[in-house]
Amino acid sequence: QAVVTQEPSLTVSPGGTVTLTCGSSTGAVTSGHYPYWFQQKPGQAPRTLIYDTNNKHSWTPARFSGSLLGGKAALTLSGAQPEDEADYYCFLSYDGPRVFGGGTKLTVL
Amino acid sequence: EEQLVESGGGLVQPGGSLRLSCAASGFTFSRYWMHWVRQAPGKGLVWVARINSDGSAINYADSVKGRFTGSRDTAKNTLYLQMNSLRAEDTAVYYCVGTGKVSYWGQGTLVTVSP
């Protein structure tokens, strides 16, 4: 089974920009992996921020964007807010199984 | 309003069974693939199973293959997960999740496997 890798933790200053990445042990991540990004705050259910690489939901703040970058899926947060402090998970589709990354704990400090 | 509501969790002994349900509303449930995802206490998200739009194709994580069975009833707008031969390591909050533009999450239902 493929392994999906994320940075375990990142820190961003309020108002700053940070990019979270999502890599695959099988090689480059492409649009064919249909990357998703989920946000989870303590004690809450996750919610989907990005689906199919770069599509946003109506509730996704405009400061979040998804892309492919250097063979990985990427989630960029531009203009971080204190409320963005959370765990972020990426999710990739393979031929059959789906795999989550281990999550990135984002601190806004 | 689009909504997913899971139910059916609880305390079960090792080797026991449970059936989880996920009731969908506010969107055309029959059009979309659905996933089951779980999260053990203090741990990350783990994919469990994917069911295609008509329930004819289902994929499972290796850790549950042969023990869990996913299904859906489009007339009832409900997704199911039959869990047999439960183990302590199956203890988790179980979520149903939509796909694509209906990638909503339910609030989860807690399954605890313990003597």
Q: Give per-residue pLDDT as tens, B41-86.
A: 999 999 999 999 999 999 999 999 999 999 999 999 999 999 999 9
For residue B43 the two structure tokens come to 């741990």
Picking from B45, B60, B106, the nearest residue to A89 by CB comes out as B45
Q: Give per-residue pLDDT as tens, A12-45.
A: 999 999 999 999 999 999 999 999 999 999 999 9
- Return the pLDDT at B88: 98
Check whether A96 has a pLDDT greater than 90.
Answer: no
Contacts of A5 in chain B (CB under 8 A): none
- Return the pLDDT at B101: 87
pLDDT band at A61 (very low <50, low <70, confident <90, very high): very high
Contacts of A40 in chain B (CB under 8 A): 45
Measure the CA–CA gap between B27 and B25, rounded to whole angstroms. Answer: 6
Phi-psi region of B54 (alpha: psi -120 to 50; beta: other; left: phi over 0): alpha
Residues with Cβ within 8 Å of A77's Cβ and at least 6 positions away in sequence, in order, are: A12, A17, A18, A19, A20, A63, A64, A84, A106
Contacts of A98 in chain B (CB under 8 A): 35, 47, 50, 59
Q: Is A13 exposed, middle or buried (0-12, 13-18, 19+ CB in 10 A)?
A: exposed
Contacts of A55 in chain B (CB under 8 A): 100-101
Q: What are the backbone angles phi and psi of residue B90, rounded to the nearest 5°?
A: -85, -5
Check whether A1 has a pLDDT greater than 90.
Answer: no
Interchain CB distance below 8 Å, A51 and B106: no
- Closest CA of chain B from A98, distance in Å: 6
- Closest CA of chain A from B6, distance in Å: 12
Find out whether B100 and A48 touch, Cβ atoms under 8 Å.
Answer: no
- Return the pLDDT at A52: 96
CA-closest candidate to residue A89, choices A98, A79, A78: A98
Find out whether A2 and A24 touch, Cβ atoms under 8 Å.
Answer: yes
Q: Determine the average pLDDT of the residues in A4-13.
A: 98
